[in-house]
Amino acid sequence: MRADGIIIAIDGPAGSGKSSTASAVAAALQYRHLDSGAFYRAVTRAALDSGIPPERWAELTRDEVDALGVGAAPQGPAYRITIGGVDAMEAIRAPEVNAHVSRMAAVPAVRDWLFGALRSAGERGGLVADGRDIGTVVFPDAELKVFLVCAPEERARRRLREQGIDATDTTEIHRETERLTGRDTADSTRAVAPLARAADAVLVDTTGLEFDEQVNAILRLAEHAIRG
């Protein structure tokens, strides 16, 4: 057992509810929550703001990524992301970030740059981390790995509700489904650290589950893993 508890890795496709679920699981266990997607979003936001054209991102060096000024500081049970020292928690959720983040997440120098920071967040354990490659690459030694899946249309409905858009409008659902599945394909087929279920990850399908039910399902698995 690590000093502050086990590591729980939650991976899954866009809109499967990883971050909100990971945050609730962390709160119930009094663990820290690490939303790794937020870091890829912050690098994307910073590159867009600096005017670096997306066609150049693949050639970014580690020094150039470093110069983008993305930072994170523990705040309560989570991390506050900053760009150039300024809070970026809202700016990283903008639609243009959604549209470009998969391209940035495929850049080897970016993943390289983040890997050390993400790993060190888990040094003492007591962590719930969510993303695409947490159970496969970042914490292959996590005591509990969960892979969340959910039907694409239901993920689209949840994402629309989150954004305050009418989630019964079939045209909107169709558009959002296309955006989500486009990102899934990009994330699953890239060469480095693709979205994948670790062989030892427990599959949880949240399509028919209420939020509390999916949190409780993971908490039951966590209790078992904590007991060893």
Identify which of residues 7 and 134 has a Cβ nearer to ligand CDP in the complex: 134
When the beta carbons of 98 and 216 are compared against ligand CDP, the nearer one is 98
- Least separation in angstroms between residue 190's CB and ligand CDP is 8
Task: Give the footprint of ligand CDP on residues 8-67 (CB under 6 A).
Answer: 14-15, 18-19, 36-37, 40-41
Total number of residues binding ligand CDP (CB under 6 A)? 17
DSSP string, 57-96: GGG--HHHHHHT-EEEEEETTEEEEEETTEE-TTGGGSHH
Measure the N-to-C terminal CA separation of the chain; round to a whole number of Å. Answer: 9
Query: Which residue type, as a one-letter code, is found at position 162?
Result: E
Nearer Cβ to ligand CDP (114/224): 114
Region 96-155 residues binding ligand CDP, contact defined as CB under 6 A: 101-102, 105, 131-134
Q: How far is the CB of 182 from ligand CDP (least distance, A)?
A: 10
- Write out the binding residues for ligand CDP, residues 146-175 only, by CB under 6 A: none
Beta carbon of residue 160, minimum distance to ligand CDP (angstroms, whole number): 13
Report the distance separating Cα 11 and Cα 200, nearest Å. Answer: 12
CA distance 171 to 35: 30
Site for ligand CDP in 180-209 (CB under 6 A): 183, 187
- Which amino acid, 208? G
Nearer to ligand CDP, 13 or 126 (CB): 13
Q: Residue 112: what residue type?
A: D
SS3 for 37-57, per residue? HHHHHHHHHHHHHCCCCHHHH
Smallest distance from ligand CDP to CB 180, Å = 8
Q: Considering beta carbons, is residue 133 or 143 the nearer one to ligand CDP?
A: 133
Beta-strand relationship, 86-87 and 78-83:
antiparallel
Residue 186 burial (CB count, 10 A):
17
Kindly tell me which of 45 and 126 has the beta carbon lying closer to ligand CDP: 45
Q: How far is the CB of 56 from ligand CDP (least distance, A)?
A: 18
User: Contact 149/204 with Cβ under 8 angstroms?
Assistant: yes
Contacting positions for ligand CDP (CB under 6 A): 14-15, 18-19, 36-37, 40-41, 101-102, 105, 131-134, 183, 187
